[in-house]
Amino acid sequence: MATTQVVRSEWTKIRSVASTVWTLSLAAVVTVALGMLISLLSRNEWDSMSTRDQLFFDPTYTSFAGMSLGQLAMIVFGVLVVSNEYSTGMIRTSLAAVPQRGTFLFGKIAVATGLAFAVGLATSFLAFFVGQTTLGEHSASIGDEGVLRAVIGGGLYMTLIAVFSMAVATMLRGPMLSLGILMPFFFLISGILAAVSATEKIGRFLPDQAGNKIMQVVPPVDDDTPYGPWGGLGIMVLWVVAALLGAYAVIKKRDA
Asked if pLDDT for residue 219 goes beyond 90, the answer is: no
Taking the C-alpha atoms of residue 210 and residue 153, their distance in angstroms, rounded to an integer, is 12
Q: What is each CA distance from 95 to 164, 170, 174, in whole angstroms? A: 22, 13, 17
Confidence bin at 103 (pLDDT 50/70/90): confident
Nearest to 71 by CA among 212, 253, 201, 176: 212
Asked if pLDDT for residue 193 goes beyond 60, the answer is: yes
- Structural Rg of the chain based on CA atoms: 19
Determine the average pLDDT of the residues in 186-193: 90
Per-residue model confidence (pLDDT) at position 99:
63
Question: Where are the domains positioned within the chain?
Answer: 3-253
Per-residue model confidence (pLDDT) at position 105:
81
Nearest to 212 by CA among 142, 161, 144: 161
What amino acid occupies position 44?
N
Q: What is the DSSP string of 61-81?
A: HHHTTTHHHHHHHHHHHHHHH
Q: Select the more confidently predicted residue: 49 or 230.
A: 230
Determine the average pLDDT of the residues in 119-143: 95
Asked if pLDDT for residue 95 goes beyond 70, the answer is: no
Confidence bin at 198 (pLDDT 50/70/90): confident
Confidence (pTM): 0.92
Asked if pLDDT for residue 1 goes beyond 60, the answer is: no
Per-residue model confidence (pLDDT) at position 182:
95
